[in-house]
Structure 1
Amino acid sequence: MESTSVEQLPNDVKNETSDNVQIDKTDENPQQQRQDFNSEYNKIELGNLGKFAFGELRALIKKLKLKPTKIKTTNSYGGRDFAFLCFRTVEEKESAMKLFNGYKWKGKEISAKEGKAVLDPLIKRRLAEESLDQNAPKPKKFRKKTVVEATVPLANVPYENQLIRKEKECMKHLQAYATSVKKASLELRPMIQANEKEKGLPCIWHGIKQAPKINGYRNKCEFAVGLNANNERTVGFRLGSYTDGSLEVASIQDLPHIPDRTKLAVQLYESYIKQSKYDVFNMQVYKGQFRQFTVRLSESTGEIMIVAGIHTTEILDELDDLLKDIVDFFTERNGKELNVSSIYLEEINKREIGQVQNNFRHVHGSKYITDTILGLKFRISAASFFQINTQSAEVLYELAIKMGKIDSGTTILDICCGTGTIGLCFAKHCKEVLGVEIIADAINDAKFNAQENGIENSKFYAGNCDDYIHSLVYEAENENLLAIIDPPRAGIQTKSKEALRNARGLNRFIYIACAPKAAMQNWIDFSRPCSKTLKGEPFVLKEAAAVDMFPHTEHIEMVLLFERLVRVQKAKEKENGNETQTSAASST
């Protein structure tokens, strides 16, 4: 089931967080105390929608000027013909029902009725645990994880064995890609089967590159603020998600992947919130102030930035005083030993429609810290994306440069370029770098970083990637193009994927995946046969490798080189032609 929350409309998609267990409105539980947050009580069910795409329904909602907190529906085209909308208030719900009932859309009259709320995950878990046989061993899903199990499950495995385990996972991902593409494309099947017979995989495998630094490697950590098992205020990591029915936060002091200075920052901030008159945030009732704590640490300069994530809705009149006290704590009182370089506020409230990130407010020190990759300096702001393992990032970028066969005639299209780290590291090896990123502040950082490093062969643009891909290809005017795609965990959106497939002149790209399983659908779609939406010739996976960016965890970063089928065909034709000429010459 596909769903969207008000925090993410109109671009992103969110999974439904609970099953269809219904709740009685007369029940007394914490879910009822936060109706402004959990809108299950103000849900409507739309029927008789016919076949529709999620984007079409979203456009209709926008046209009717409705502001649901969530949209829950089936996947694109086909399947069921109904959807659910949730609203913050009864008035909004009733107004929406009046608008939809009898509304003509796509040749049908929509029906609208009151939807039934589903059970809050915390209540659901509590009831499930109460129903267990107390004399029998608890099922695995009810066993509480330790903080090590929840965050660094491989911490007690020798590093060499971690790499072996991760390489096996990469093999599985490549084999899963091959299986799916062989089913989807009769044209590519013989090519993939031939590669599998020769190499055992659908492509050339360059192996896994180990991390130069395996302990204390994280230059950025986002910590939750909440209560531990003893009901004490704690800054650390959650042992589970809210959707799993878990709110407990555990200490991070014994975790190997977090730097000692970051641990000190956490320890100091925890001591601060323990003596504060303000409360920690409680997701269940959506109340409290201290919600998150982010630490960014520069490996090259030693600068440290802290970001206090605060739910500000209830304390707007007192917020300035709270921020002043936090600054005073880290500059004049106990927190002074941290020698903090920069302090930010992150306002973590309900997002407005179209809002893609939280609001950040600089409150003390420098606005940026600076770190170095491959000899280049990069400024990092509170919301900037920067690879969390600096030394492994250098290995990753050098590998991508080598796999992409980049030379002085190559033009790089940096898709989802962020602050320009990848593109600028490639700049001295290529003719030109053209980057695009949706967050304007990140583009400002990219332009600054280019200027700061004296790089003149780069241009960066703020906007949706899918809107810019064709124009970037046109601007490049270069047959030797290589796109670099380093998307979020779930991969690139459908429009960007289609734009890449349909971009004439773009025949090669490198895909960097920090969550290969989640990105798998992207890889498969790049290799699908031509269709109404995917008009360009398919891409074929040619080479793959991996870099261990996240030691002690299950995560792995994969680097994949795709080439368009026509390019492969021409290469084969050329190769076959040379063989024919050689044979003819030999016979004479």
Structure 2
Amino acid sequence: MEVEAETPVTDEIVELITDEVVESSTEPKSEEKGYLARDEYTSERFKLELNNLPKYFGFGDLKKKLKQLGVSFVKIKVPQQATHAYVNFRNEEDREKGMKLLTGWSYRGNKVEVSHAKPATDIMFRAKPAKKNDNRRDQKIDNEMESDLPDEVKIQNSATPLWNLTYEEQLTKKATIVQEFLRGLEQKIKETSSKTVTIPFEGVKPSPIIDGYRNKCEFSCGKGNNSEDKVVGFRYGQYSSGIDRVGSPSVCKNVSDSMKLVVQHFQDFIRSRSSPWYSAETHLGCWRQLTVRESRLNHLLLMIAFCQGQLTSEEIEQEKKDLLNYFTINNGSICKVTNIIFNVEKNKAGNELIQSEILLGDSYIVEKLFDFQFHVSPKAFFQANTQGAEVLYSLIKDSMKLDNETVVLDICCGTGTIGITLANNVKQVIGIEMIKDAVEDAKRNAQLNNINNIEFIADKIENVIHKLVNKYENQRLVAILDPPRAGVHRKVIQTLRSAENIKVLGYIACNPQLATHNLLDLTRPRSRAYQGEAFEAITSTAVDLFPHTPHYELFILFQR
């Protein structure tokens, strides 16, 4: 799960901190919190620490309880496996009001201790090794950055860690990783149910395309490892680890030749401009990010994130005009770009969008998946490996034995890709997705493909599942769950468990470790919390959608 640097003040979020930064009892040096001196909003100025929280609690539940108390927060930060949390506020008034509301508050039997919290250390200083208690992970990264490895090797190690293995070796390595995960899951199931289980593993299905498979990439603008200015590419490591240098993707095997050509020409263009690149450390500069999406139908979309800086409206308009001319008339025309979207943002943490303008083409591209076509907007979720997605969706169809008597519940359906590609093989598909914009995209995609036996519902699964189960009680009802990488809230699993007409469930995990809690809840014994017969893991198969990286998709078929 990615942790954003700072969100717009209108958003309320819960963050899971995977690498907790333990702040010292002494105040860090002033430059380590230099961001506080800048003339910009940061919720780190207004922060409370909650201690003595229950050992196990849900992020969503904590957020809900704080809202019920009337606490007006911006975000909540929860370190992994911790009994404390940080609550950030918009201003001093909201923080002090929160302090009063939370003083003496008991949460699930624990009397919560509340106190003012110090601002976090600037990310760029966290990664610097201290004289004592060095962070081994940061030190390892620093050592690699300071080594004599060529930049081409460093950038591949960062973007595609398995680049130096043959593809057969990569598949073997991933098979080992999956088997180790499954053995651990079997042990956890035994601990929760006192039942010995074995989850059959059918291996790793390879990607049909190994190199240049990504249909979407996000490239940063910044300074190169050798201090070259205005480099466009990937960072040599995570910014959260203190790494802000950028390297060319020209050697990265997962990036297509057409994307590499775009990156090179975009870099040439911004180097010809007087406006500077954007620094995530100082929040100064203009050229921040280039997002590229391409399709099998030869559509090529560029989305530019441009911070206004000190430029006037007229100067920004000139940048747009010259960019458009460069990619349509001048040297960049060789890239054959079909769509350009130019987003102007404020120079502040959170990159608040001021203006979005389509300079060329439509606001979306069209992608082909099997014999279907999908409108894909710049920020929409679509599997990064289109041909790999076809392997995954074929696996789902075959494993679940779908036929024209089957009704499919497509849970967390997003823009409808799974349900639409399966619709012609089943009686009915009902897609459920809580993000309304995604549901509107899904409806348009169904119309685009003349799919009439599909319905999309914009709601939470727990609000609609029982009505749907009752409606199709005499049908073969199966569920497909394709959640975000951290899985779904336990209430969703509890709801699915109680819907006993669902006998077959397919779970797609892009990060099985983070989804472990869902997989355990599906299989744990019947109880007051989990009212319904437990599911049993019948088979599992991995699909390699991300060659040259450790990532994969794991499909587990459950039955009861």
Q: Same fold by TM-score, threshold 0.5 exceeded? A: yes
Cα distance in structure 2, aligned partners of 1:35 and 1:101: 32
Equivalent residue for 1:424, pick from 406, 420, 427:
420
The one-letter code matched in structure 2 to 1:181 is I
1:337 paired with 2:371, answer no
Q: Which runs of 5+ in 2 are unaligned?
A: 146-153
CA spacing shift, 1:3–1:127, aligned 2, 3 Å: closer
Question: 5 Å matches for 1:52-451?
Answer: 54-63=59-68, 66-73=71-78, 80=83, 83-98=85-100, 100-101=102-103, 112-128=114-130, 140-144=140-144, 146-186=154-194, 189-190=195-196, 192=197, 202-231=198-227, 232-299=229-296, 301-311=297-307, 317=313, 319-346=316-343, 361-451=357-447
CA spacing shift, 1:452–1:127, aligned 2, 3 Å: closer
Offset, 1:257 = 1.4
CA spacing shift, 1:395–1:109, aligned 2, 3 Å: closer
Match of 1:570 in 2: none
Offset, 1:436 = 1.7
CA spacing shift, 1:35–1:503, aligned 2, 3 Å: farther
Cα distance in structure 2, aligned partners of 1:458 and 1:286: 46
Cα distance in structure 1, aligned partners of 2:544 and 2:181: 16
- Residue 415 of structure 1 contacts residue 483 of structure 1 at CA under 8 Å; is this kept in 2? yes
Match of 1:539 in 2: 535
Higher mean displacement: 471-480 or 442-451: 471-480
Bigger Cα Rg:
1
SS at match of 2:413: coil
Match of 1:44 in 2: 48
Offset, 1:10 = 4.4
CA spacing shift, 1:238–1:416, aligned 2, 3 Å: same
1:486 paired with 2:482, answer yes
1:275-308 CA-partner distances (Å, limit 9, x unpaired) = 3333322222333332221111111x11111111
CA spacing shift, 1:68–1:284, aligned 2, 3 Å: farther
Offset, 1:48 = 7.3
CA spacing shift, 1:16–1:92, aligned 2, 3 Å: farther
Q: Which runs of 5+ in 1 are unaligned?
A: 133-137, 193-201, 565-588
- Residue 484 of structure 1 contacts residue 511 of structure 1 at CA under 8 Å; is this kept in 2? yes
CA spacing shift, 1:521–1:54, aligned 2, 3 Å: closer
Match of 1:459 in 2: 455
CA spacing shift, 1:548–1:497, aligned 2, 3 Å: same
SS at match of 1:291: strand
1:295-351 CA-partner distances (Å, limit 9, x unpaired) = 11111x111111112345876846555434433332233322222111223566679
The number of residue pairs the alignment matches comes to 539
Offset, 1:368 = 2.2
| TM-score, normalization by structure 1 | 0.82
Offset, 1:12 = 4.6
Offset, 1:179 = 0.8
- Residue 37 of structure 1 contacts residue 286 of structure 1 at CA under 8 Å; is this kept in 2? no
- Residue 201 of structure 2 contacts residue 540 of structure 2 at CA under 8 Å; is this kept in 1? yes
Cα distance in structure 2, aligned partners of 1:558 and 1:236: 29
1:14 paired with 2:30, answer no
Match of 2:151 in 1: none
CA spacing shift, 1:16–1:321, aligned 2, 3 Å: farther
Match of 1:27 in 2: 30
Cα distance in structure 1, aligned partners of 2:31 and 2:305: 30
Cα distance in structure 2, aligned partners of 1:516 and 1:442: 24
| TM-score, normalization by structure 2 | 0.86
Offset, 1:262 = 0.7
CA spacing shift, 1:475–1:144, aligned 2, 3 Å: farther
1:520 paired with 2:523, answer no
Cα distance in structure 2, aligned partners of 1:48 and 1:552: 43
The one-letter code matched in structure 2 to 1:328 is N
- Residue 44 of structure 1 contacts residue 115 of structure 1 at CA under 8 Å; is this kept in 2? yes
Cα distance in structure 2, aligned partners of 1:458 and 1:55: 31
Cα distance in structure 1, aligned partners of 2:260 and 2:534: 48
The root-mean-square deviation of aligned C-alpha atoms, in Å, is: 3.4
Cα distance in structure 1, aligned partners of 2:434 and 2:63: 20
The one-letter code matched in structure 1 to 2:73 is P
Match of 1:553 in 2: 549
Match of 1:576 in 2: none
Cα distance in structure 2, aligned partners of 1:17 and 1:563: 36
Cα distance in structure 1, aligned partners of 2:183 and 2:312: 54
Cα distance in structure 1, aligned partners of 2:524 and 2:156: 40
Offset, 1:251 = 0.9
Cα distance in structure 2, aligned partners of 1:98 and 1:173: 45
CA spacing shift, 1:109–1:517, aligned 2, 3 Å: closer
The one-letter code matched in structure 1 to 2:27 is D
Cα distance in structure 2, aligned partners of 1:174 and 1:265: 41
- Residue 20 of structure 2 contacts residue 80 of structure 2 at CA under 8 Å; is this kept in 1? no
1:120-171 CA-partner distances (Å, limit 9, x unpaired) = 3321323538999xxxxx9634223511111112212111111111111111
Cα distance in structure 2, aligned partners of 1:250 and 1:497: 43
1:386-443 CA-partner distances (Å, limit 9, x unpaired) = 2111111111111111100111111111111122111111111111111122333322
1:337-390 CA-partner distances (Å, limit 9, x unpaired) = 2221112235666799xx9x9996534212222121221112211222221111
Match of 1:197 in 2: none
Cα distance in structure 2, aligned partners of 1:539 and 1:220: 36
The one-letter code matched in structure 1 to 2:384 is I
Offset, 1:103 = 7.1
Identity score, percent: 35
The one-letter code matched in structure 2 to 1:31 is Y
